Structure formats: C-alpha cells, structure tokens
C-alpha cells in the first residue's frame, strides 16, 4: 500500500511540471506577438527644436513598400514665418512662352571702314597697332609711291610751263596795247597761258582725288575715314602693297548686329522693328535688340531663315563673335494653369511641387510630381500640364528648405 501511494504522488508531480512549462511557453509567445505588433504601427516624430515633423505611411500592398512620395513635412505657422516659406495657389493665368535660339554678335557693316591705298607702294611707316582706338583723320601708315613721284614731278613741270606762259602772255599783251605786236600774237600767248592753267589744275585735282599731298615727295599717308577700333591690320614695315589691298579695317563697336537662324514655323512671330531680348552665355545678363531684316526665302537645305537685329544695349562685354541666346516670345500669351517657377524642385529625378494641406494646428507639405510646360520669358511663371489642380495650395517660396528637410528625414530613417 505504501509503495502504491508513493507512485501516485510521483505521477501527480510530473503532471504539474508539464502544465507549468506549457503555461510559460504560452505567455512568452503572447508577449512576443505583442512586441511585434507594436513595432509595426506607424510613428510620428518631432525633434526637440520643433523642426519638421516627418510622417511615414506603409504601402497598401502588404509588403511594406513606400508609395512614390511617402513622407510629409508638418510645420506650424511660426515655423513657416521663421523659415521664409510662403504659400500660393495654383491659378489660371497668362504664360508668355518664349523659345531660345543660338545667336552671334557681329560687326555692323554700316559702321565699318575698309582702308586701302590708291597706289601701289612701299611701306615706310606704320603708326597704329591692332586693337587701337583711332580718331577720324588720324594717320595710319605712310607709303612711298613711285607713281605719285611721277605725278608730282609732272606737276612741277606743268607749274614751270605755266609760269613761262604767263610771262609770254603779259609781254604780248603789253606789246599789243602799245601797237607794236599783232593781235594774233597776243591771242596765241593768251591761249597758251589758259592751256597751262588747265593742265596744272587737272594734275592738282588728280593728286588730291587720290588723297595725296602735292608736296609730299612721293609719300602717301593713309588716314582713318572714321573713328573706331583697328580690328584688322594687314601690313608691316618695309613690305610692298598693291592698289586696293585691304590694309586696315576699322569698326565702331558701339553698334553691333545680332544674327540668328530660326525655323520657318516660328517666322510668323517675328516682324521688323520688333524688340527682342538675348542673354549672354558668359554672364547671364539680358540685353535688347531690334529686328532689322529678315530673309525673304528659307534656306533650301535646312528650311531655316536668317534674322538680323540691331543691338540696342551698349555694354563692354558685348563684342563681335560673342555667342548668345535669343529669347523669342509668342505674340499672344496663352491662358493656362501656372505656378511660381521657384516652387519647382527635382525629387528623385522628377519635377515636384510641395502641396500644402491643413492638419490640425499645422500645415503639412507633401511632394507632388508634376508635368511642366513652357516657362514665361521673365522666368517667374511656369505652366503645369498635369499633377496639380486649380486652387491647390503649394509652397511658392522656400521649397528648397522643404526638400532639405525631406531628404534629412529619409536619411535618418535609412539608419
């Protein structure tokens, strides 16, 4: 009996230990499930300085993938003022579209002078250098001209003949008045005197027409026909030059031309005397020009038209052969949904705008992808083709700060 009783007590102890072990395992499993469930709930964090509050939302596919712009930034009105973030509303308005074309500044040939000699000669002296500013009438170079030596020698001979003819005429006139000489001798002397005067005047005029001095002893001085800058110089001391060789080019750079090529489809938007703008590729400064001429026919191979405009601005940075961009505006502005260009940021390689929405005492900003159209010529407005609706609020100023806060939040979440 005693052995049977001990055996029963041992069996009851083993059963109690098994129950306790199963109970412990069950409690541990319940605690683990509770911790896992809490870790899956979305959290909202705000730093102790009251900066941006970033909220993350799980994807709807059950795999924990975030949507395209799964973060929002919440700010109070005070924080908006401190950060300089300004709100605006997407609205319908005029967007004056502009198209940029490459263009080139060239010399105004109406304000250019080509200096060439009227004789073939030998270069005795050069008085100016390339790029030098000269005045009208200033000496540029001196040539020794053999032909001019001959003409000046002929002038001296003709002047001597004139003097002899004058003396003969005065003597015959005196004798005729005294009745000593016949009238026909007087008439002959008078005619010879007149002929000698004509020869001298003709030679003087011929030398003067060539721009030479009658007493230069074969020297011929090239002078500047206009004031300007020596842009080309093609002679050196001691060389021989020929008649009509282009030795100097003088440009007046205070008046340049702008030349560019435009497709024939855009030609209707260009009219003579129209004022256009162009931008320097070096400084980004804007300047104005006025359309002067348009080709009446398009190029046979390219179908493009050449346009020439007179530069109205006078700036030191504007020089011939400088490449610029012409901004051509449409004649009439088109109505469309527009936003401030300062609101657009690149997020994940796409154009995006931070859309604002009221959430309790704060304003939430969420990036919204948009498809953009043309920009206004002043760079302030940009057309929205899709992604926004009329009346939606967005961050017009300070969007760069919002982008920085968004990237900061994503970086902290990645760690």
Please state the domain extents for the chain: 54-97+334-414, 98-109+252-329, 111-251
Pair of tokens at residue 183: 């009238």
Structure-token match 């390689």, residue found: 349
CA angle 244, 249, 253 (to 5 degrees): 155
Structure-token match 């080309």, residue found: 232
Instruction: State CA 107 to chain mean position distance.
Output: 17
The domain made up of 98-109+252-329 has a fold known as Elongation Factor Tu (Ef-tu); domain 3 (2.40.30)
Centre a 10 Å sphere on the Cβ of residue 145 and count the other Cβ atoms it contains. 25
What is the CATH code of the structural domain delimited by 54-97+334-414? Answer: 2.40.420.20
Q: Are both 54-97+334-414 and 111-251 of the same fold?
A: no
Task: Tell me the whole-structure pTM to 2 decimals.
Answer: 0.49
The CA distances from residue 137 to 222, 224, 225, 227, in Å, are: 9, 5, 6, 8
- Grouping H, G, I as helix, E, B as strand and the rest as coil, residue 59 is coil
Q: How far is Cα 193 from Cα 162, in angstroms, rounded to an integer?
A: 6
Q: What is the largest CA-CA distance in the chain?
A: 205
- Residue 310's closest CA among 280, 274, 284? 274
* Contact in structure between 310 and 254 (CB atoms under 8 Å): no
pLDDT score, position 367: 92
Percent of the chain with pLDDT over 90: 19
Question: What architecture is the 111-251 domain classified under in CATH?
Answer: Beta Barrel (2.40)
- Could you say which DSSP state residue 217 is in? T
> Residue 213: which residues within 8 A CB-CB, separation 6 or more?
207, 219, 221
Pair of tokens at residue 159: 């002047």
pLDDT score, position 56: 41
pLDDT score, position 48: 39
Looking at 334-382, list the stretches that DSSP marks H as alpha helix, in order from N- to C-terminal side: none
pLDDT score, position 264: 61
pLDDT score, position 5: 46
Q: How far is Cα 319 from Cα 82, in angstroms, rounded to an integer?
A: 46
Query: Is residue 205 classed exposed, middle or buried when 0-12, 13-18 and 19+ CB atoms within 10 A define those classes?
Result: exposed
Instruction: List the chain residues with pLDDT less than 70.
Output: 1-20, 22, 32, 34-71, 96-98, 149, 209-216, 264-269, 296-303, 329-334, 377-378, 409-415
Q: How far is Cα 32 from Cα 30, in angstroms, rounded to an integer?
A: 5
pLDDT score, position 301: 67
* Contact in structure between 75 and 362 (CB atoms under 8 Å): yes
Residue 29: phi and psi, rounded to 5, are -65, -40
CA angle 298, 300, 306 (to 5 degrees): 35
Q: How far is Cα 47 from Cα 204, in angstroms, rounded to an integer?
A: 98
pLDDT score, position 230: 94
């Amino acid at each position: 009996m005693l052995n049977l009783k001990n055996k029963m007590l041992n069996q009851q102890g083993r059963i109690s230990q098994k129950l306790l072990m199963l109970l412990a395992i069950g409690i541990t499993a319940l605690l683990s499930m509770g911790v896992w469930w809490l870790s899956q709930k979305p959290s909202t964090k705000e730093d102790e300085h009251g900066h941006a509050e970033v909220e993350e939302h799980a994807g709807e596919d059950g795999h924990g993938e975030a949507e395209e712009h799964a973060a929002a930034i919440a700010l109070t009105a005070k924080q908006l003022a401190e950060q300089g973030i300004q709100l605006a509303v997407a609205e319908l308005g005029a967007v004056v579209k502009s198209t940029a074309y490459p263009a080139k500044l060239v010399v105004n040939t109406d304000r250019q002078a080509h200096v060439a000699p009227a004789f073939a000669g030998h270069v005795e002296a050069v008085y100016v250098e390339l790029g030098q500013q000269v005045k009208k009438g200033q000496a540029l170079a001196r040539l020794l001209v053999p032909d001019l030596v001959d003409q000046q020698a002929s002038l001296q001979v003709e002047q001597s003949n004139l003097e002899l003819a004058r003396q003969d005429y005065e003597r015959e006139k005196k004798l005729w008045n005294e009745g000593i000489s016949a009238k026909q001798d007087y008439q002959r002397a008078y005619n010879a005197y007149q002929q000698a005067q004509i020869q001298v005047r003709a030679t003087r005029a011929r030398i003067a027409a060539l721009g030479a001095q009658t007493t230069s002893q074969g020297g011929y001085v090239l002078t500047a026909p206009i004031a300007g800058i020596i842009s080309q110089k093609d002679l050196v001391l001691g060389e021989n030059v020929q008649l009509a060789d282009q030795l100097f080019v003088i440009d007046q750079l205070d008046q340049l031309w702008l030349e560019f090529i435009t497709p024939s489809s855009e030609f209707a938007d260009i009219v003579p005397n129209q004022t256009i703008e162009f931008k320097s590729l070096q400084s980004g400064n804007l300047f104005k020009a006025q359309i002067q001429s348009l080709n009446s026919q398009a190029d046979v191979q390219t179908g493009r038209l050449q346009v020439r405009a007179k530069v109205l601005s006078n700036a030191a940075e504007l020089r011939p052969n400088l490449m610029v961009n012409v901004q051509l505006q449409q004649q009439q502005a088109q109505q469309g949904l527009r936003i401030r260009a300062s609101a657009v940021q690149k997020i994940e390689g796409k154009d995006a705008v931070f859309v604002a929405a009221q959430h309790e005492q704060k304003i939430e900003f969420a990036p919204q992808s948009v498809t953009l159209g043309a920009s206004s010529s002043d760079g302030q407005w940009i057309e929205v083709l899709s992604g926004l609706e009329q009346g939606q609020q967005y961050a017009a100023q300070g969007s760069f700060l919002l982008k920085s806060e968004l990237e900061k939040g994503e970086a902290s979440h990645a760690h």
